[in-house]
Structure 1
């Protein structure tokens, strides 16, 4: 079952953008003389957020009358407070971090899909990696070990716990630690952790360095899994619904463009990550949906409840747009 992402389109005349990068923005006024509305979006500089950068490059946000600035952080949990405080109008976060915020009563609203699993359990954009000579061959072998994710109590450790227990392991015996995605492969190689959950382009970079994948964690949890979303504060949604609608329209264009243009996705990733060209050519790209899969997000909420990440599973009728 899918929940449609409904938007209202608000068009504005455009002047095409020629370049983009993290921390940059579109500064040209709208062609009809109206000033662009400034919006700042906090993201993680990973393959998942490529559509936002593409939308800036292609002028989709300017078409909707928005002057976009992109700021980066290491994880969704760090972006949430910036959106709540009003420093950012929008943010990118994995869905578990948003569920935790919802559970704590933080005034946040999901406004757009962002990224989803490819559905391929043998080749996805998120994976658990180990050293090439590690004795670990499956998630069930990690009992008593140390595993890293980019932040704690988010989608990474939640889906891993679920899959480990389903395969006969004991997730309660594992120590989860926080290491940013760019540093995770080195942590595996030097023995700081036994395994690490990483996403592209760091999955392919790890494989190129001789490390191994023991699980494509998102797809192993649910082949239809929505991984992350864009969100705003309830105050922003209430105060400026027109601006939110414009952002949603621009994101829909950006997601559709990214899904249809994988070469453009690879090229734009090179502008905000230090990824060698030969690695970019091999990375597995995620899906960029414009609708949420309600069943998969519900299963994710149930897992968050089971592992004590939230006290109450979110009501999808209000949690998703």
Structure 2
């Protein structure tokens, strides 16, 4: 076992997390009761079911599979696609999956709902400092002949996002406000991720927010142009996604949790040091097309646990834009003791 270094409509809106919370609390109550009657789960299980999206955001997870790191740490991993990050919460609490990758906003909302989930490892980080014209893991794009040239030009326009009051929605607002605009005057609408380019080209939205590799391949084919990345100026390195498990799972499987984190961090460090590995993983594990591999942007991946200071970068924006009513309590948010300090 290796050591850790620091152990928003074109679609109906996503159901409120509070509803998920009610369901999940019921599920965890039942699960706990059943677990107590049956004597609990086996300690330090080695066969894991991991919820994640089949995208470049999951590179460290896929890399740990492709390069055998889970096997080296005594783990067998099955990846199942998340329908949404919100769906992952009740699955974690009822034992349907063991660990899930989710965006920071979903995790923070869940913590504010009092749901017993913890960060077991970092996953994605904001890759850049949000410099105008610099590509990142996701971006705001418009038609090539559009008069939208920069963040300020989004004011008064219709912008497609995966959902309202998510990290992407929040980041765009922060970028526009930071540039001196009024982001409250942007008309945000929800669009399906796979249709972000088509809806822009058909003029149904003025701009949209594709992720990688759709973003870079569409720009290379001159279907769209980059307006701005979804990276907030000055927040390079802030956590964008994390791997999460239930507190019950963490308590019963401490070595498993440590070994899982070790494996994904090892893969993340390898990809950081040799970005060509990301293309190999994209081809073998994510079935990316050659044109996507040629232009893909390799996102920043966490090689260590996020700190409370780093989480607070995201929390401050989430409170400012009223995604969170208040900052969540971070004590107990980390699987490893002491990591919240």
TM-score using structure 2 length: 0.78
Q: Distance in 2 between matches of 1:107 and 1:266?
A: 36
Q: 1:263 matched to which residue of 2?
A: 276
Q: Which residue of 89, 92, 104 maps to 2:101?
A: 92
Q: Indicate yes or no: 2:194 matched with 1:185.
A: no
Q: Indicate yes or no: 2:73 matched with 1:64.
A: yes
Deviation at residue 129 of structure 1 after TM alignment: 1.0
Q: Distance in 2 between matches of 1:131 and 1:73?
A: 30
Q: Indicate yes or no: 2:82 matched with 1:73.
A: yes
Q: 2:21 matched to which residue of 1?
A: none
Structure 2 gaps of 5+ residues are 8-43
Q: Distance in 2 between matches of 1:70 and 1:196?
A: 29
Q: Which residue of 279, 286, 291 maps to 1:278?
A: 291
Q: 2:61 matched to which residue of 1?
A: 52
* Structure 1 residues 242 and 36, CA gap change in structure 2 (3 angstroms): closer
How is 1:1-321 mapped onto 2 (pairs within 5 angstroms)? 6-7=6-7, 37-119=46-128, 121=131, 122-210=134-222, 211-220=224-233, 222-273=235-286, 275-291=288-304, 292=306, 294-316=308-330, 318-320=332-334, 321=339
C-alpha RMSD over aligned residues: 2.3
Local SS of the residue matching 1:299: helix
Local SS of the residue matching 2:292: helix
Q: Distance in 1 between matches of 2:215 and 2:186?
A: 22
Deviation at residue 141 of structure 1 after TM alignment: 1.8
Is the 2:199–2:205 contact (alpha carbons within 8 Å) kept by the matching residues of 1?
yes
Deviation at residue 303 of structure 1 after TM alignment: 0.8
Deviation at residue 309 of structure 1 after TM alignment: 0.5
Q: How many residues align?
A: 291
Is the 1:64–1:246 contact (alpha carbons within 8 Å) kept by the matching residues of 2?
yes
Which string of whole-angstrom CA distances, capped at 9 and with x for unpartnered residues, describes residues 4-27 of structure 1? 9634xxxxxxxxxxxxxxxxxxxx
* Structure 1 residues 278 and 192, CA gap change in structure 2 (3 angstroms): same
